[in-house]
Amino acid sequence: MKQISYFLLALVFSLASGILSASGQDNNWIDMGYTETGASYNYYKLLQVNGAAHRYSTIIELSVQADPNYYNMQGTYTIRADKYEQTSDRFDGLEIQCSSGNVGAASFYVYNNALWVRSNFYSGHLYYRIKGNFTSDSPLNIDPFGRTTTAPTGFLASTSTNGIKCDFDNNTFSKLPVGDIYGAQTFFNNVSILGDSKFGVALADKFSYDNKTQPHYGLQWTTDSWFSGGHSYWLSGYGGIKMFTTGTPRLVITSTGNVGIGTTAPQAKLAVNGDIVSKRIKVTQTGWADFVFEPEYKLPSLATLEAYIKENKHLPDVPSEREVVKNGVDLGEMNKILLQKIEELTLHVIELQKEINRLKENRK
């Protein structure tokens, strides 16, 4: 009984091993050949239009396995080829996308009726397998795949840095997004997100505003109650926002809402370290200097004014040089003070003119 049990157990393991081998990761890959011959790269014609009446809907995996001592020399690609049965000399569509490894492990040369490929590194092999063939026809070339050490010429498109989508019906070739071996993503065309969708980090860390949610660390385009004609742009950085040119922060918004231009430490709602050029500046002001013309206002005499100037070296109510250097100038308040002095001066001029007129009358 023990011998029978061991036999059955061995048989189960044998069958399981056979199943894994039949559908595993090694036996269904077909070796196309070496990456190079001597000191020259090998170019392989992987796909071609094999018959005018054929129609294709085929997905192929291509694995470039160069020197295994170097991680960046390997790359696996998914290739899709489609062909309408009435097109005698070209595919309808072709798509190449790196699915793992280094997108720069191989170079592809796209023709309207063929696809050539080569490894970009030595010391290895190129492998392929059919991932899906949804028609009875196939665009695969046959061994030895038109192998040559002469670089293809006259191709419509070539890529060794990104995926590519080829639309032969409309003769358009578009680069596809790629991720490098370190995980960085590169986009070659427009990147779009739907309105009211967020883009950022830690999207669960959010706040409510205008009956919507906004991430503390992100952005979105969304409708806003201040304008109903389109989406508004919302941007939030919980610790603040900095905008750079040539590596230098030019515009900053602190976490407390202070805005700085030319400074990263604004101490006011708007701080500008530099010149401001404007056609008009409007300062809202509480109170004005017209109280000088009220009957109850006591106009300081010129003698009193003279004594004050001799002692303080500035006009009454006007800040001294030391105060201006230390605290700056409040434009609205300073304009009100200057207007007050002009109005006081005007009243003194009027009184002086009256005195001159009286003196003239007395001489007659």
Looking at residue 26, its pLDDT comes to 52
> 79 Cβ partners below 8 Å, 6+ apart?
46, 47, 59, 60, 61, 62, 94, 95, 96, 97, 115
- Condensed to tens digits (0 to 9), the pLDDT of residues 153-181 reads 999 999 999 999 999 999 999 999 998 88
Residue 143 pLDDT grade (very low, low, confident, very high; cuts 50, 70, 90): confident
Q: What pTM was computed for the model?
A: 0.71
Could you tell me if 293 and 343 are in contact, meaning their C-beta atoms sit under 8 angstroms apart?
A: yes
The gap from C-alpha 246 to its chain's centroid, in whole angstroms, comes to: 17
Rounded to a whole number of angstroms, the CA Rg of the chain reads 41
pLDDT at 130: 94
Pick from 147, 146, 151, 138: which is nearest to 79 by CA? 138
Each residue of 225-269: pLDDT tens digit? 999 999 999 999 999 999 999 999 999 999 999 999 999 999 999
Q: Pull the structure tokens for residue 133.
A: 């063939």
pLDDT surpasses 60 at 23: no
Give the domain ranges of the chain: 30-186, 192-238, 241-275, 289-363
Q: Report which residue type is found at 232.
A: S
**pLDDT value at 2 more than 50:** no
pLDDT of 13: 42
Whether the predicted pLDDT of 271 surpasses 90: yes
